[in-house]
Every structure is written in C-alpha cells, then in structure tokens.
C-alpha cells in the first residue's frame, strides 16, 4: 500500500463464517516501524481528544469498536473523517493537527505509533503549529 498522504486506507479483511479478521504488519502494510500502541476507550459522547500535532511521531488510528470522527488540518486545509470499520486505518503523518470527537458509546480507538511517548515531541500550541506549518509551506491534505 502507498501511504503517501493523510487519509483512510483499507487493511486486509479475512472474511469467515466464524468471524472476520484484520491484521497490520510492517513493512508491507504499515509505513513505519511500530514502537508504541495505545488505545482510547470509555470516551464520553461530548468529549474531544487530540488537539495537537507531532514533530516526529507518525500515527495510524483504527476504530476497533464503534465509531468516532477525526478532523485533520495541515495549516491550509481541514478534512473530516469518520472511522467506523475495524479494517479502516487513518494515517496521520507528522505536522498534521488532529481533533477527535463524536465517540459512540463503547467505541475503542486503537493507535499505532512510530515513536515511544515523548512530551517534547508534541506541538500543543496552535499558534506555534500554524507558524511551523506556514513556514514549511507543505500542503499535506
């Protein structure tokens, strides 16, 4: 698969009358080495997660259960995605501001990350993000 821009990519789905199976592996299905996995759950319907970008960390988001929405912003264009299938993977490279909301009851958001957790690697200040994004001038969406 060519993970050349932010967006939803379709992972393999092995259909079976005993239940379906989806998998992810490097390097052919995931564009980075996975160094961390975390998941969001018990998210209230009116809660908003994210609200930051990353300097070095790439992420892939998967709705393992239920659904939620993700708004991506590269400093120029906003795009909104809804994840509601366990075989859909939303790729978010570095330098993209993300906001997650509209979590359905019982939803689980699995995140595959390229880096271990590092607070300094986050861009949490929106003005700083805009300065980096516009100086860089790279349209990703």
Upstream peptide bond of 128 is cis (omega within 30 degrees of 0) = no
Residue among 101, 103, 25, 17 nearest 60 (CA): 25
DSSP annotation of 11 reads P
Smallest gap from residue 38 Cβ to ligand TYD (A): 5
Nearer to ligand TYD, 49 or 85 (CB): 49
Q: Which residue among 17, 52, 54, 58 is the active-site one? A: 52
Nearer to ligand TYD, 34 or 40 (CB): 40
Active site residue 58: no
Smallest gap from residue 78 Cβ to ligand TYD (A): 18
Q: Are 114 and 57 in contact (CB under 8 A)?
A: yes
Smallest gap from residue 100 Cβ to ligand TYD (A): 7
* Residues found near ligand TYD in the complex (CB under 6 A): 36, 38, 40, 49-50, 117
- Provide the annotated active-site residues: 52
């Amino acid at each position: 698969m060519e993970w050349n821009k932010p967006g939803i990519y379709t992972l393999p789905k092995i259909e079976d009358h005993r239940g379906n199976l989806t998998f992810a592996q490097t390097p052919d299905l995931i564009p980075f080495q996975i160094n961390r996995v975390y998941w969001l759950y018990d998210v209230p319907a009116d809660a908003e997660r994210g609200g930051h970008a990353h300097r070095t960390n790439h992420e892939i988001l998967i709705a393992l259960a239920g659904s939620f929405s993700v708004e991506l912003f590269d400093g120029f264009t906003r795009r909104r995605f809804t994840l509601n299938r366990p075989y859909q993977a939303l790729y978010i490279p570095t330098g993209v501001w993300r906001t997650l909301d509209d979590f359905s009851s019982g939803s689980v958001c699995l995140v595959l990350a390229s880096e271990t957790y590092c607070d300094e690697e986050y861009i949490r200040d929106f003005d700083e993000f805009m300065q980096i994004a516009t100086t860089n001038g790279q349209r990703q969406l």
